Amino acid sequence: MLFRSLFLGVLTLSLNASPLCYTQGYGDLITHADDKSIVLKKGLTLPYTTPTQPITWEDKMNEADLAMQVSQSYDQGGVQTPPAYLFDPGRLRYQPFFQALYGNDKKAIEKNLVTISWPTLKGTIKLPVNRIGGVDQKLYAIGQEIAQLPKSDRIWAEGATTYCYRVIKDTHRLSMHSFGIAIDLAPTKTQYWKSESPSETAHIGYHNTMPMSIVRIFEKHGFIWGGRWYHYDTMHFEYRPELLAPACTTQNHL
Ligand SMILES: [Zn+2]
């Protein structure tokens, strides 16, 4: 067991920061990526690394670049295990990337929103979702698959909310809900790390009740789950296909 842990640790460290994660993850929305820059289909070029290399965890959260954004390997399809200290694959984000893809400000983002039907135990509700890259179609497909699960699992997909233009609590960074690419489920029954401590670097426990049957459906369609973060947010799923691309995920290496 110890050997397996050490072995996985080495692999996780060695699989970092590949520009290929972006071209594999976003298909034709990104036409080129190398260790200098990525080029979007719409013509925008973004730097792959930025000159300021943050050292502390708090600075990394605020100043991550595209390389850092894929520097922790997401364990797609893995069993539910408490993540290691500060292991938050997907939580380090380069905000200009999401603005370039989904809309630069509230007005531009809202132009890209469409509504999808989301099945619940009491009927269908409508949810606003970004249409860029087909995120709306993917979330619709997820809802249809969850509707096939037993009721004991489906109750965890109730109370769904998606778009809300806002910053992440206690930060200046936009939430992924602001771009219409994230969804929260079962808000009253799930767990959030800040209920233990408001400090990013505190040593906290891990708690989750979200069933893996739901998590795996989301991951199959390009969404990552906040329950795989040290700073757990178990109601939260967001569309981050770069982290589920073959060049980035650990799934092929286990
Ligand atoms: Zn959320």
Model pLDDT for residues 22-33, shown as the tens digit of each residue: 999 999 999 999
Spatial neighbors of 72 by CB under 8 A, at least 6 apart, are 12, 16, 87, 88, 89, 90, 92
Ligand 1 centroid to residue 16 C-alpha, Å: 25
Helix (H) or strand (E) holding 193: none
Kindly report, residue by residue over 221-238, the tens digit of the pLDDT: 999 999 999 999 999 999
Give the mean model confidence (pLDDT) for residues 70-77. Answer: 88
| Model confidence, pTM | 0.91
Judged on CB neighbours under 10 Å (0-12, 13-18, 19+), 207 is middle
Phi, psi dihedral angles at 18 (to 5 degrees)? -95, 125
Spatial neighbors of 137 by CB under 8 A, at least 6 apart, are none
The percentage of the chain sitting over the pLDDT mark of 90, rounded to a whole number, equals: 79
Ligand 1 centroid to residue 225 C-alpha, Å: 9
The residues placing their C-beta within 5 Å of ligand 1, an ion, are 184, 236
Ligand 1 centroid to residue 180 C-alpha, Å: 11
Ligand 1 centroid to residue 35 C-alpha, Å: 30
Ligand 1 centroid to residue 158 C-alpha, Å: 14
Ligand 1 centroid to residue 1 C-alpha, Å: 34
